[in-house]
Structure 1
Amino acid sequence: MTSGPTLFSRARAEIVDLHHFFFEWYRTVSADKTHFGRFESVIGDGFRMIPPSGKILDRDAVLDYVRANRATCGSDFLISTDDIRAGWESDDTIIVSYIEIQHRGGKHSRRQASAVFTTRSSAPNGVEWRHLHETWLQMPEG
């Protein structure tokens, strides 16, 4: 009997897939073909984000920010993730860390992120984002 994908493999797939959504959503050349519902469906109720600025954003603020920034990047925009690692884990919750790399408007940046995921069978990868905390490793510079 197989038990299916591990919680970590589902969270890792979600991180990769969501950043692919950002790649498509923010680029002017692909935004029209990108469905916002994919993003909205994986951001759990009570979600909180702490971006590098330190400000605490609730779910609605994050959704509004991403929605408002649709198609704001040119074709040079790139976003990717690296060094995805599992942290603490229980039966239905996991903390995962990763590095986000961006190239936007001729500037490069890198962020260290820690995310909390819980299981949700209706989500595309079987997990939803509950908390995200980011800090600069490399601030945007050209």
Structure 2
Amino acid sequence: MILRLAIAGGLIAATVTIQAFFMSAGLRAFRQMEKDRPDFLSHYPTLVTVAWVIYLIIPILFDVCLWAAFYYLAQALPSFEDALYFSTVTFTTVGYGDIVLDRDWRQVATFEAINGWIIFGWATALMMAVIQRLYFRTDPQAMDDGDPKG
């Protein structure tokens, strides 16, 4: 059991790393766009919001696939398709219960659910940060000049 929980901890660390990488790259690109193309951001905030949400779904898909690969390779589930479905339902905390793990693996699945809960909270915070920048913009030049009114 300790080994399985250690593996779950490793999977959580891996998914946090994936999220952090995507967050850093995405925010860097957004800041660059704020600097180079502020007119685009102010004219197309809905398009940018949709692109940002889709972008944030990509690492979540990687996270779900990582957990699914674990279940399949550990032979906790009979097929990768079942593992992917189970992982998606668990990571999103939907938990239909139509596919369940054996008693030996159940505790690991609770860590995936906690992991998903944290990752979705993080992604939501990132979405809101970008939405606030898009819809409640201040002039970055004015902020650089020390003028808080922007």
TM-score normalised by length of structure 1: 0.28
Query: Which structure: larger Rg?
Result: 2
Structure in which a larger fraction of residues adopt strand? 1
Structure in which a larger fraction of residues adopt helix? 2
